Structure 1
Amino acid sequence: MNTHEHATRVVVVGGGYAGVQAANRLQVDGDVSVTLVNPRPQFVERIRLHQYVTESDDAVVDFADVLSGDVRLVVDTAELVDPAARTVTLASGEVLDYDYLVYALGSTGAAATVPGAAEFAYPIAEFEHAEPLRAALATVHPAAPVVVVGGGPTGLEVAAELADGGQAVTLVCGSVLGPYFGEPTRRAVTRRMRRLGVTVVAGAGATVTEVRRDSVVLADGRELPSVVTVWTAGFGVPDLAARSGLATDEIGRLLTDETLTSVDDSRVVGAGDAVAPSNAPLRMSCQAAIPLGAQAANTILSRIAGDEPAPVDQAFTGQCVSLGRKAGVIQIAHLDDRPTRVFLGGRVAASIKEAVCKGTVWQLGVEARKPGSYFWLKGGKRAEHVAAVR
């Protein structure tokens, strides 16, 4: 860690994909001192949590493997940001001073507002959620019914992973399975689920209105038996920005301009799932978070150098979803993240998904050892997308 008395002090809150990438890239400038605040002592591979619950992966990596040795790691939770004083107060009571703050807290599951969901359903958005779910599933007989709620990538991966291990699974999707998918991809995923023995419930009335101890109730009145209910529906973010008086969107994401700078304070820069550039956030994914982390660091480095920061410029390639250990699907996208009608499936897709999971950790490690070496796909026509959203 840089200890020069005139070093620019940067505090990064959040040690996920975006926060680690930003912390590493800031090491390009030898006069920047970086402190990373994270509540866990290890880096969590969120894209492997569905494997963790089935005991096929531990879903954690040592920070030493992904974080620059020059970054100070503080295992604690940020409780309050004071933009005027440029301080972050931690749960332990420690107060960190900063010249710039990287807000990279990531996302979590949506608050459980459906009756019974908070009491009887298991979320899986965070490692601390996955641990009790893993313990609960370990006691369940394979023939006992398990219900997974949510037809997005997490719900699909959890349902397929459980079914691949022999568990009886019902997947409740709401109106449609895989809302991001193109129709050919959706049909292929439906076929794969059928082969795995997953009962897919989608369409009118397929919304959960109540979770009970041993069942879920749907909007159309159906009651599905469930010894374990896994809740993957919805999306939320920590409320640190709102509690700290920083402007947010309706769900609490930090509002920034196109350089990822807070609309309230030029010393606060955001990255990842907890940020809404121009009130038009990118899709929740490590595919978005890692380039955003790099660009957040670049914004700070530009400001330190007295240069004008560049606007966000990144493109998407699609979405990778594992469907058990031996199959998957890769939805190919336009550069602006609109899905095409093209997809890859089967074992090839499973191999690509595994390579992506390994590649994200590898990329972070490379940036830790060689700051500034990471590059990403650009040309996603962000400006046109923002204009369309507005």
Structure 2
Amino acid sequence: MKHRIVVLGAGYAGAVTAGRLARRLHRDDVEITLVNGDPEFVERVRLHQLATGQDLRPRPLRAVFAGTGVRLRTAWVASVDADRKTVALTGEQGPDGLGPDTLAYDTLVYALGSTTTDHGVPGVAEYAHNVAGKQDALRLRARLAELEPGADVLVVGGGLTGIEAATEIAEARPDLQVSIASRGGVGDWLGDKARRHLHLVLDRLGIAVHARADVTRVETDAVVTAEAGRIPARVTVWTAGFAVHPIAAATTLTVSDTGQIVVDGTMRSVSHPDVYAVGDAARAEGAGGKPLRMACATATPMAWQAADALAARLTGREVRETTIGYATQCVSLGRRDGILQRVTHEDEVTSTVIAGRGGARIKELICSAAAWSVSHPTMLVPSRRRRLAATREAETRLVTT
């Protein structure tokens, strides 16, 4: 009997895990099934581009995994029974539309990612748009296309997603009045140099900033804040945080207070050794004992760790564990500007910053590399040392040109 591996979710973490397992294990010994609700891989880090009218390169999962032995199921996950080792599926969209609604596994890789959260603020679900998923971005795209010149667009949230959404909209539609509201300061986590550049760009793009404005209600044509009163908004874009899907919390798996599956250093569940979790859905410790943040930057190394550990255990090899850390934080500010902030392994900012066109070019390089790693799932991935060396070489070329 083949060992049945089921991977739930084909975002960055799930797709990379499935591809790496296919390369490390023989298809005569294992059966790898990848379950995803969308038939295409979605570049989530580019959804703000999709929302502003740019078309993203299609990446059909069947083409991505052709010849790898990975079986694809285009369906949604309804529930997971971690004790019986089964997954309930719904909305099957396979080529024949058939197949059991229940999928059994010997090892499960849970990579269902995250979605937006409204933090209990009234009106978000009814009136706000977001860029957490492809369909969400397409709905925002259609709504923005309807707006007449001078219309107010408000982005709620001063983190990476909010900044990228606001600058992308303002650059693509300079005829709109774009603003951003944040409970704290916008880009507060950045170093001084990066933060100064960010606010210069916000000023250049004409983006009004409502800092320390706690949104208490979203209405059809405005948001209400505790400090700044009512802020007009024909369109509100909600980017004030992400939350994991509630599926894991409904199982017997040990989860954190955020609903993430608690895993050890090999991305294996601390309560169920036949379950691995990667990406936003996992609560894993990184360098310095800090929980890894939800990000594409952590999804891929988590996928490598899980795939290598699982493959080693199935083949009787030594299981190696590597502490996952950080190197940079990147933010795009439209298509022609950006920031690359160098950070320590523990994610603390340093004084090294590349901003402007150089920052934009490096951010584009990183996004393209992430998509390439998914599109070439069985290709050998360079070591971390080689990847860092290549990044530093690119940075050096940009600084000196």
User: Same fold judged by TM-score > 0.5?
Assistant: yes
Matched to 2:256, the amino acid is D
Aligned residue number for residue 248 of structure 2 = 241
Shifted more, 88-97 versus 126-135: the winner is: 88-97
Matched to 2:87, the amino acid is V
Q: 1:19 aligns with which of 10, 14, 18?
A: 14
Contact 1:24–1:68 (8 Å) recurs in 2: no
Instruction: For 2:290 and 2:271, locate their aligned partners in 1 and report how far apart those are by CA, in whole Å.
Output: 17
Q: 1:35 aligns with which of 23, 33, 36?
A: 33
User: What pairs up with 1:351-366 in 2 under 5 angstroms?
Assistant: 351-366=361-376
Question: Structure 2: which 5+ runs fail to align?
Answer: 92-99, 389-401
Aligned residue number for residue 161 of structure 2 = 154
Q: CA deviation at 1:58?
A: 2.7
Q: CA deviation at 1:122?
A: 0.8
Q: Go from structure 1 to structure 2 and tell me whether the alpha carbon gap of 1:109 and 1:181 turns closer, same or farther (over 3 Å shift).
A: same
**What do residues 130-149 of structure 1 show as CA deviations (whole Å, max 9, x unaligned)?**
12111111101231111000
Q: 1:201 aligns with which of 210, 221, 224?
A: 210
Matched to 1:67, the amino acid is F
Question: Structure 1: which 5+ runs fail to align?
Answer: 1-5, 381-390
Q: Verify: 1:332 aligned to 2:359, yes or no.
A: no
Shifted more, 64-73 versus 42-51: the winner is: 64-73
**What do residues 252-292 of structure 1 show as CA deviations (whole Å, max 9, x unaligned)?**
11111122111111000111111002595312211110111
SS of 1:170's equivalent?
A: strand
SS of 1:174's equivalent?
A: coil
Instruction: For 1:125 and 1:339, locate their aligned partners in 2 and report how far apart those are by CA, in whole Å.
Output: 26
Identity over aligned pairs, percent: 40
Instruction: For 2:180 and 2:63, locate their aligned partners in 1 and report how far apart those are by CA, in whole Å.
Output: 36
Contact 1:163–1:196 (8 Å) recurs in 2: yes
Matched to 2:350, the amino acid is T
Shifted more, 100-109 versus 312-321: the winner is: 312-321
Contact 1:102–1:271 (8 Å) recurs in 2: yes
Q: Verify: 1:9 aligned to 2:4, yes or no.
A: yes
Q: 1:168 aligns with which of 144, 160, 177?
A: 177
Q: Go from structure 1 to structure 2 and tell me whether the alpha carbon gap of 1:88 and 1:154 turns closer, same or farther (over 3 Å shift).
A: same
Instruction: For 2:313 and 2:222, locate their aligned partners in 1 and report how far apart those are by CA, in whole Å.
Output: 55
**What do residues 309-356 of structure 1 show as CA deviations (whole Å, max 9, x unaligned)?**
333423312111111111111111112221112211111111111111
Aligned residue number for residue 190 of structure 1 = 199
Q: CA RMSD in A?
A: 2.0
Instruction: For 2:378 and 2:9, locate their aligned partners in 1 and report how far apart those are by CA, in whole Å.
Output: 20
Q: Go from structure 1 to structure 2 and tell me whether the alpha carbon gap of 1:314 and 1:221 turns closer, same or farther (over 3 Å shift).
A: closer
Q: Go from structure 1 to structure 2 and tell me whether the alpha carbon gap of 1:131 and 1:287 turns closer, same or farther (over 3 Å shift).
A: same
Aligned residue number for residue 219 of structure 1 = 226
Contact 2:301–2:324 (8 Å) recurs in 1: yes
Matched to 2:298, the amino acid is A
SS of 1:266's equivalent?
A: coil
Contact 2:168–2:333 (8 Å) recurs in 1: yes
**What do residues 90-133 of structure 1 show as CA deviations (whole Å, max 9, x unaligned)?**
12562112111001111111145112111111121111211211
Q: CA deviation at 1:305?
A: 2.1
Q: Go from structure 1 to structure 2 and tell me whether the alpha carbon gap of 1:242 and 1:231 turns closer, same or farther (over 3 Å shift).
A: same
Contact 1:45–1:60 (8 Å) recurs in 2: no
Q: CA deviation at 1:59?
A: 6.2
**What do residues 71-96 of structure 1 show as CA deviations (whole Å, max 9, x unaligned)?**
11100012222222221111256211
Matched to 1:29, the amino acid is L
Q: CA deviation at 1:207?
A: 1.3
Normalised by the length of structure 2, the TM-score is 0.88
Q: 2:123 aligns with which of 116, 133, 139?
A: 116
Instruction: For 1:280 and 1:65, locate their aligned partners in 2 and report how far apart those are by CA, in whole Å.
Output: 37
Instruction: For 1:177 and 1:341, locate their aligned partners in 2 and report how far apart those are by CA, in whole Å.
Output: 19
Q: Go from structure 1 to structure 2 and tell me whether the alpha carbon gap of 1:248 and 1:111 turns closer, same or farther (over 3 Å shift).
A: farther
Contact 2:116–2:130 (8 Å) recurs in 1: yes
Contact 2:59–2:375 (8 Å) recurs in 1: no
Q: Verify: 1:56 aligned to 2:54, yes or no.
A: yes
Aligned residue number for residue 301 of structure 1 = 311
Aligned residue number for residue 144 of structure 1 = 151
Normalised by the length of structure 1, the TM-score is 0.90
Q: CA deviation at 1:302?
A: 1.8
Q: Go from structure 1 to structure 2 and tell me whether the alpha carbon gap of 1:210 and 1:338 turns closer, same or farther (over 3 Å shift).
A: same
Aligned residue number for residue 384 of structure 1 = none
Instruction: For 1:178 and 1:20, locate their aligned partners in 2 and report how far apart those are by CA, in whole Å.
Output: 30
